[in-house]
Amino acid sequence: MSKPSILVLEDEVSIATFVCASLSAAGMLPRATGRAVHARRELATAPADLLIVDLGLPDEDGITFITELRKTSSVPVLVLSARAHESQKIEALDAGADDYLGKPFGVGELLARVRAMLRRAAAAPTAPARLRVGELEYDRASRELKLRGAAVHLTKRELALFDALARALGKVLTHRQLLAEVWGAEQVDQLHYLRVYMGHLRSKVEADPAEPRYLLTELGVGYRLADE
């Protein structure tokens, strides 16, 4: 397999340098730019396999960049958010970013996220019909969920919630994305629905619902189904 090409859109030179050095050392081909306008020009001539986008850019905010990008491209986007842009990371995910890292972050965390995203992008464009995570087995066609081989009985709504997370396996879904998908577009602010149903699901599949192994909380952002 050829080396994955990564475009890093980050105006802080020290961070861009650190990110590029880490990706190179891991066998990837990174390039960096600090301006959204340059990134767009760059992508028009040399597409990338993945983008790393800082939300605080000098010429444009990262959300506008991602919104524009999503009109023409489904390339995976990892967002970097400084504390000052915490609330924007949710907007960025809603706008079509695939994952995020808060600054400061470590090399291990960066590479794990990038590898997981490349893996997902390389897999079939549609979610697999059957998936297995730890002791959970899910068959999308028959909508059957098993835990250690025994059927887990889910209500229609619990199943819809689990199915949404399963289709995005490993990827964070924001509260709004989950609410829109499971309850409908007019219910996107009903965060308590989500909390209640996530509690039901966890009590059925987690050995310790307070320390979930499968249904992971992304604090203040949303949830993801663990992919390993």
Residues that bind Ca ion (CB under 5 A): 11, 54, 56
88/177 with CB nearer Ca ion: 88
Q: Which residue has the tokens 């879904």?
A: 173
CB of 86 to Ca ion, least distance (A): 14
Peptide bond into 104 cis (omega under 30): yes
List, in sequence order, the alpha helices (H) in the chain: 13-25, 36-45, 62-70, 86-94, 107-122, 156-167, 175-183, 191-205
CB of 160 to Ca ion, least distance (A): 38
Hey, is 85 helix, strand or coil? helix
Q: Would you tell me how many other CB atoms lie within 10 Å of the CB of residue 165?
A: 26
Task: Please report, as a single letter, which amino acid is at residue 105.
Answer: F
How far apart CA 91 and CA 7 sit, in angstroms, is 21
- Please give the residue whose beta carbon sits closest to Ca ion in the complex: 56
CB of 57 to Ca ion, least distance (A): 6
CB of 118 to Ca ion, least distance (A): 24
Beta bridge partners of 78: 52, 99
110/165 with CB nearer Ca ion: 110
The count of C-alpha atoms lying within 13 angstroms of the C-alpha of 64, restricted to the half-sphere facing its C-beta, is 11
Residue 118: name the closest of 167, 52, 69 by CA: 52
Per the structure block, which two tokens stand in for 207?
């050995």
Q: Would you tell me how many other CB atoms lie within 10 Å of the CB of residue 55?
A: 25
54/158 with CB nearer Ca ion: 54
CB of 66 to Ca ion, least distance (A): 15
11/218 with CB nearer Ca ion: 11
13/151 with CB nearer Ca ion: 13
CB of 10 to Ca ion, least distance (A): 6
54/91 with CB nearer Ca ion: 54
